[in-house]
Amino acid sequence: MTRPKKSLGQNFLIDRNVAKKIVRTLELKRSDRVVEVGPGKGALTSFLLEELDALTAIEIDDVLSASLREKIGPNLKVIHRDVLEVDLPALAGELGGKVRIVGNIPYNITSPILFWIIDSSQHVDDCTLMMQREVAERLVAKPRTKEYGILSIFAQYYARPEFRFTVPAGAFQPPPEVVSAVISLDFRQRHSPPASDDSFFRLLVRSVFGQRRKTLRNGLRGMGIPAERLGQIPGDFNRRPEELTVSEFVALADRLASVASDLPLTLRGNRS
Ligand code: SAM
């Protein structure tokens, strides 16, 4: 067996009880269309397949994907690719509808994987992922905490996140330097009502949190919305971004869109 590759975040789960506990939280039906991200040596894969008719797994490592194909029967389809290059809507289409995603993912690409899922969330029922505990805590963080930020807002806007349980480093080989946690995001329960313009909502959240110490007024100016425009809509623009709930961000995005749609808006940092 080759050595674990740090660059691919290869910390393999060796605690079978943790693997079983993750699979139990999924409450699988045999016909569920499940996609596993980063199956590695198959710690979760074999338990998943005990409860499923079929499973699709995406693994970038050539040695591991070949050995999974050999080790596990024909009801496992292994896609040997970088998960971020997989067209998720197309995969869901091939599988016949919305998918469920599960994975003990490589921690170095947690955010890109989350956005890979969020960006196609209309094709996903839910995802259950093991990640660094700090990141899991950010996904469920409430306003006015230091963990609350872009990831919290997007997770709570596109889904209902649920922190499941923590997993100690000793459950892995080699052990990671951090404590881990399992979290689920249920995309069937996204925030309601949605923003009238999703991309404007995202630009707003990213821009003001890019300058989280600034007031909304200053953050919005940085995004290209001058203070005079703010006079046309209700709101306290002396607040800081971490004080606003997801609902307040949605309402703010809708109001701003009505007075700023003619402006060339940019993410702070792209603008001089
Ligand atoms: N699920 C296994 C387990 O629990 O033991 C392995 C977990 S390990 C933390 C992450 C896995 O993701 C490794 O097998 C690694 O090769 C794979 N991986 C890393 N980057 C990837 C990528 N961009 N696309 C797909 N798989 C990736």
Q: Which atom of ligand 1 is nearest to the CA of 106?
A: 10
**Per-residue pLDDT tens for 233-252?**
999 999 999 999 999 999 99
Say how many C-beta atoms besides its own lie within 10 A of residue 45's C-beta.
23
Question: Which among 105, 110, 113, 177 is the best mutation to test ligand 1's pocket, defined by most ligand atoms within 8 Å of the CB?
Answer: 105
146: three-class secondary structure by DSSP:
coil
What pLDDT does residue 272 have? 28
135: three-class secondary structure by DSSP:
helix
Q: CA–CA separation, 158 vs 185, rounded Å?
A: 9
**Per-residue pLDDT tens for 25-53?**
999 999 999 999 999 999 999 999 999 99
Does residue 181 have its Cβ closer than 6 Å to ligand 1?
A: no
From residue 79, how far is each of 47, 56, 74, 210, 256 by CA, in Å?
Answer: 19, 7, 13, 36, 43
Does residue 171 have its Cβ closer than 6 Å to ligand 1?
A: no
Q: Which atom of ligand 1 is nearest to the CA of 11?
A: 9
Residue 106 in tokens? 């490589």
| Cβ neighbours for 117, distance < 8 A, ≥ 6 positions apart | 88, 101, 124, 127, 185
What pLDDT does residue 268 have? 58
**Residue whose CA is at the smallest distance from ligand 1 atom 20:** 8
Q: Which atom of ligand 1 is nearest to the CA of 61?
A: 16
**CA–centroid distance, residue 40 to ligand 1 (Å):** 5
Name the residue type at position 58.
I
Q: Is the dihedral of CA 58, 62, 64, 68 positive or negative?
A: positive
Q: CA–CA separation, 208 vs 198, rounded Å?
A: 16
* Structural domains for the chain: 6-186 (3.40.50.150), 198-260 (1.10.8.100)
**CA–centroid distance, residue 103 to ligand 1 (Å):** 8
**CA–centroid distance, residue 193 to ligand 1 (Å):** 35
Q: Which atom of ligand 1 is nearest to the CA of 36?
A: 1
Output Rg (C-alpha) for the chain, integer angstroms. Answer: 21
With a cut of 50, which residues of the chain have pLDDT below it?
269-272
What pLDDT does residue 241 have? 96
Q: CA–CA separation, 26 vs 127, rounded Å?
A: 9
**CA–centroid distance, residue 202 to ligand 1 (Å):** 28
What pLDDT does residue 266 have? 76
Does residue 82 have its Cβ closer than 6 Å to ligand 1?
A: yes
pTM of the prediction? 0.95
